[in-house]
A = this chain, B = another copy of it.
């Protein structure tokens, strides 16, 4: 029989997967085992450290429930989510880049007409957003489904409030014949990711803060085009260079123009401040390729 020792164990484990139910699963688990073992060897992991890791993952599992997904938060804060997003969304230059999905999307958010108030009572300074959906050649994309969601000025998404079942700062719209859409909401502010659990303690131990720069989430679907999941980040935010989840791509930063008072795009006169944002989303055609030779 084979003797299991620190030098032979990796090959012994991999050989045990000869009868895996799919070649893809076998490929993935081969890489998992190789990297897991290489990690333990690289750092000469002690038994106490191994057990601390077991305890950490147990805590991550126990705080995770229907409303809170600490494993996604862990993936986000270690840059894995953004890496997977980048690997799976290679596009030709000129297309709007993708970024992390995040844990706060909700299926079946309410539908709004263009011009409506998607904020729906969420706390924050008014913001008027105009957008345009186009293809790479500048062609307008009409009737695209536009999902938007955002945190309020206290840094919380509607789903983070206990007992709230109504959408606030969240909704879907359709782009018009010229590809444009517009809505009212609230001005995005920077906020910390949930950091009262094991991932928060990890960030503290690593000397990191839990803040994300201000952003709006968008998911845009249109027939013939690849789904786009992205954010628009607010220029000037002090966390743009240190996003806790590594989601910032420079092409996604835009100006929120602030107005002390005046008439907003919907024709209403304001005697208090509001902001305006305009952004163009460029979709990649399905099967258009990545524009990258790798």
Contacts and interface: CB of A to CB of B under 8 A. Distances in A.
Interface of A: 1-6, 9-10, 12-13, 16-22, 25-29, 31-33, 35-47, 49-50, 54, 57-58, 60-62, 64, 69, 71-72, 75, 78-88, 90, 204-208, 240-242, 246-251
A10 B78 CA distance: 9
A1, A44, A83, A207 interface centre (most CB from chain B within 10 Å) = A83
Contacts of A75: 50, 54
Given A1-B250, A19-B208, A36-B80, 4 more contacts: A19-B207, A28-B43, A58-B64, A61-B61
The secondary-structure label for the interface of chain A is helix
Contact of A80 (B3, B31, B40, B251): B40
Contacts of A206: 16-17, 19-21, 25-26, 29
Contacts of A62: 61-62, 64
B36 A4 contact: no
B6 A83 contact: yes
A21 B205 contact: yes
A1 B35 contact: no
A141 B110 CA distance: 75
Nearest to A16: B208
Contact of A43 (B27, B49, B205, B249): B27
